[in-house]
Structures are given as structure tokens and as C-alpha cells.
Structure 1
Amino acid sequence: MSQDIDYGNLMHTAMRGLIKTVLTSVSENGLPGAHHFFITFDTRCDGVEIAEWLHDRYPEEMTVVMQHWFENLEVGESGFAITLNFGDAPEPLYIPYASIKTFVDPSVEFGLRFESPDEEDDFDPMDDEIIEVEEEPQQHDADVVSLDSFRK
């Protein structure tokens, strides 16, 4: 009997765990430095809790920003609750990790993208379409040294 390893699902689980770890740290210590997050989620996903007027305005997908003002951040096993300000009107939200489509911290050019199962059908492992992790390393001037000079 042969079973395949579901690497895509395992990576998504690990990446959602990373988001949970980051949000837990923020709930305990606040946002450090210039860090801030753009979180896009599927508003149709089971467990999403947003005001009806927000759901009417964003019937499929919504992006929220965690930056200058947020409160009541509570990180749970399957999602997180947060109160955000929409035009001077605080609104509580509950966002399950499974509903997250992208998580981006532009202050360090880091981002995660989750594809839905329908989008994964055309997956080519050479295209990196399931996961995009963008983190641009700092550029440093360096001398290139050939290893041949060290060989005997």
C-alpha cells in the first residue's frame, strides 16, 4: 500500500503555525519597530466573524492592516480575534487561520500566500505557485574568492 506525502498541506499547516507564533508575540509584546501586517482572508470561510456591513462590502475577500491601532488581539488554536478601526468605528473580527490567503509584513518584505485547492490543481513544482515567501536579503558588497586558490 502506497501513500503520498501531502507536502502542500503540510507546508500550509507550518506556515499558519508561523502566523500564529508571530501574532502571539505581538499580543504579548506589541508590534516591534516598523513591523506591520497586511492580512487578506476569505470572508466566505467557515468561522469568519465580521460585521454584516463589512461582509456586504467584502463578500469574498478582505484585507486588514495591523499597524497603528488595534486592540483585543486574542490568538487561539484555530484563529485570532482582533478589534480594528474602520473609519473611526471599532469593529471586532474573528479570522480563522484557514481563511488567510496572504500574510505580508512589508517592513521587511516578507510574505506568505496560500492557494486554494482549486488553484493547486495546475501546480507545477518548478513554478513555486503554492507558496510565495518573499524576503529580500540585504545587499552587501563582497569580494568573490575562488575556492581553487585553497585547493592543493
Structure 2
Amino acid sequence: MECSSIKHPFIFLFFCLVFLSPLVCSQLYYNFYDTTCPSLTRIVRSNVLSAMANETRIAASLLRLHFHDCFVNGCDGSVLLDDTSTLKGEKNARPNQNSIRGFEVIDKIKSALEVACPSTVSCADILALAAREAVNFSRGPFWSVPLGRRDGTTASESEANNLPSPFES
């Protein structure tokens, strides 16, 4: 069903709100933070550029971090969650041990964004933008990133253990 063919949009909206997961009805937008955090892109870019000036390898690390996040339950920032007494996170999964890095760059970006626009930008969106900027600053392609992801509140070490090996064909 296309959106333009909906005869009763209020009934459809009510159905989405009541019966479907927010992920099914939510959408990502390129201009999601344009009014709530107009400095978002500048802050992410400057922090990634600064990190790359200190260590050029961080660009590949940020892209890898984003891939490892997206592999388990989608791009929800769950790879950033630390272990708790009730949660075994993804950071310590076998494929991630001594493999993923760049957490400090994401933390620095998040701290700067909390000053500029408190409680606004999700860590999942920061991670997606940081990966894009790292690739672009490394003379790779640029792509538009739709925004509006919600941060995950759970993580799964066991699912992260299913990441493909770099030695697989």
C-alpha cells in the first residue's frame, strides 16, 4: 500500500501507533535534526577530522565500528553499550575483541553534541555520520545519511559472535 493511496490517514496512524512497532512506522529523514541540532554535521566532521589528524587508521576503525553495530539488530548503537549486571554487550564478543575501536571518538562527539543540543542526537546517528565522514575524509565516497535512528537499549554478545570472519570467502 502506498502512502498516497490511504483513504483514512487518521485510522492508519492510529493503527501504526497502537498495533505496530515504532520501528515499522518510523521513518528516517535527511533533515531530521535541521531545526533541533543545526550544528550536528559540523560537530561530527570536526571531531572526526581531529581524530584522523591524530591517527589516520581511526577512519577505518569508525567504519568497522559502524558495520559491527549494524550487523546485530540493525544500526541502533548497541555496540556502544557497556556490560551491566543484566546485559552482556557486544563489545566483548569474540569477533569484536581487539578488533573494534573508536569508542573514544564517538564519546567525544556525543559530549560536544550534548553541549550544543542536549538530549537530541542519538548515538546510533552519531555512529552512522562518523563512519560516513571518516570514509569521505579518506577520499572515499560521500553519501547522504538519513537520520532519526533511536538508540537500542539492549545488546547481544551471542548475536555479535555470529559476525562473519575476515577469512571467509
TM-score by length of 2: 0.21
Structure scoring higher RCO (CA < 8 A, sep ≥ 6) equals 2
